[in-house]
Chain A
Amino acid sequence: MSRRVFLSRHIVFWIFFTILGIWGQFFLPGTDFFTPGLVVLVQFGFLNAAFWLGCLWMLLLEGTGNLAFGTIILYYAGLAMAYSLAGVFFEARNVLFMALLFLFLAVFKKALVLVMAGMQDLGQSVFMDAQSVLVQFTVHLILWMLTYHFFNKYIMHELVRRKKPVA
Chain B
Amino acid sequence: MGWVIKPGVRVHSMAQEFWESYVYLVDVHQENRELRRELDSLKLELAARSEKAAFAERLEELLEFTSPPGWSSSGLRVVAHNYGPLGVLESVIVDKGRLQGVSSNMPVVAPEGVLGRTYKTGLNFSTVLLLSDPNSRIPVVSSQSRTPGIVVGQGQNNSLAVQYVHLNAPLQEGEYLVTSGTAGIYPKGLPVARVSRVERSEIRLFQLVEAEKLVSARDREEVMVLENITKLRTDYLDFDGIIRDFSGEDRLMGEPGVSGF
Contact of B88 among A32, A61, A66 (CB under 8 A): A66
User: How far apart are the CA atoms of A65 and B120 in the complex, in Å?
Assistant: 9
Q: What string of 1s and 0s marks CB contacts (under 8 Å) between B132-143 and chain A? A: 011100000000
Which DSSP category, helix, strand, loop or mixed, fits chain B's interface?
A: loop
Given A29-B82, A125-B133, also A65-B93 (CB < 8 A):
no
B22 close to A (CB within 8 Å): no
Measured CB to CB, the nearest residue on chain B to A110 is B85
User: How far apart are the CA atoms of A113 and B86 in the complex, in Å?
Assistant: 7
User: How far apart are the CA atoms of A67 and B83 in the complex, in Å?
Assistant: 12
Given A26-B80, A29-B83, also A67-B93 (CB < 8 A):
no
Q: B83 and A71: CB pair below 8 A?
A: no
Q: A31 and B135: CB pair below 8 A?
A: no
Contact of A61 among B85, B90, B127, B133 (CB under 8 A): B85
Measured CB to CB, the nearest residue on chain B to A136 is B85
Q: What string of 1s and 0s marks CB contacts (under 8 Å) between A56-74 and chain B? A: 0000111111110001100
User: How far apart are the CA atoms of A29 and B84 in the complex, in Å?
Assistant: 6
Q: A125 and B135: CB pair below 8 A?
A: yes
Q: From residue 53 to 91 of chain A, which have CB atoms closer than 8 A to chain B?
A: 60-67, 71-72
In the complex, what residues of A have CB within 8 A of residue B91's CB?
Answer: 66
In the complex, what residues of B have CB within 8 A of residue A30's CB?
Answer: 82, 84-85, 87-88
In the complex, what residues of B have CB within 8 A of residue A117's CB?
Answer: 88
User: How far apart are the CA atoms of A71 and B86 in the complex, in Å?
Assistant: 8
User: How far apart are the CA atoms of A26 and B120 in the complex, in Å?
Assistant: 19
User: How far apart are the CA atoms of A122 and B89 in the complex, in Å?
Assistant: 8
In the complex, what residues of B have CB within 8 A of residue A124's CB?
Answer: 134-135
Q: B135 and A61: CB pair below 8 A?
A: no
B174 close to A (CB within 8 Å): no
Given A26-B80, A29-B82, A30-B82, also A64-B134 (CB < 8 A):
no
Q: A64 and B86: CB pair below 8 A?
A: yes
The smallest C-beta distance from B164 to any residue of chain A, in angstroms, reads 17
User: How far apart are the CA atoms of A29 and B93 in the complex, in Å?
Assistant: 12
The smallest C-beta distance from B122 to any residue of chain A, in angstroms, reads 6
The number of chain A residues touching the other chain, given as a range, is 20 to 34
In the complex, what residues of B have CB within 8 A of residue A67's CB?
Answer: 86, 88
In the complex, what residues of B have CB within 8 A of residue A25's CB?
Answer: 83-85
Q: A66 and B87: CB pair below 8 A?
A: yes
In the complex, what residues of A have CB within 8 A of residue B133's CB?
Answer: 125
Given A26-B80, A29-B81, also A65-B135 (CB < 8 A):
no
B206 close to A (CB within 8 Å): no
Measured CB to CB, the nearest residue on chain B to A122 is B135
Measured CB to CB, the nearest residue on chain A to B154 is A124
User: How far apart are the CA atoms of A65 and B135 in the complex, in Å?
Assistant: 16
In the complex, what residues of B have CB within 8 A of residue A29's CB?
Answer: 80-84, 87
The smallest C-beta distance from B117 to any residue of chain A, in angstroms, reads 13
In the complex, what residues of A have CB within 8 A of residue B93's CB?
Answer: 64
Q: What string of 1s and 0s marks CB contacts (under 8 Å) between B48-78 and chain A? A: 0000000000000000000000000000000
Q: B87 and A63: CB pair below 8 A?
A: no
Measured CB to CB, the nearest residue on chain B to A63 is B122
User: How far apart are the CA atoms of A126 and B88 in the complex, in Å?
Assistant: 6
User: How far apart are the CA atoms of A66 and B104 in the complex, in Å?
Assistant: 13
The smallest C-beta distance from B80 to any residue of chain A, in angstroms, reads 6
Measured CB to CB, the nearest residue on chain A to B79 is A26
Q: From residue 128 to 186 of chain B, which have CB atoms closer than 8 A to chain A?
A: 133-135
Q: A72 and B86: CB pair below 8 A?
A: yes
- Given A64-B87, A125-B90, 20 other A-B residues pairs in contact with their CB atoms under 8 A: A29-B87, A30-B88, A31-B85, A60-B84, A61-B84, A61-B86, A64-B83, A64-B93, A65-B83, A65-B84, A66-B86, A66-B87, A66-B88, A66-B91, A66-B119, A67-B88, A72-B86, A121-B135, A124-B134, A125-B133
The 6 closest A-B pairs by CB, nearest first: A65-B86, A29-B82, A124-B134, A32-B85, A64-B84, A66-B89
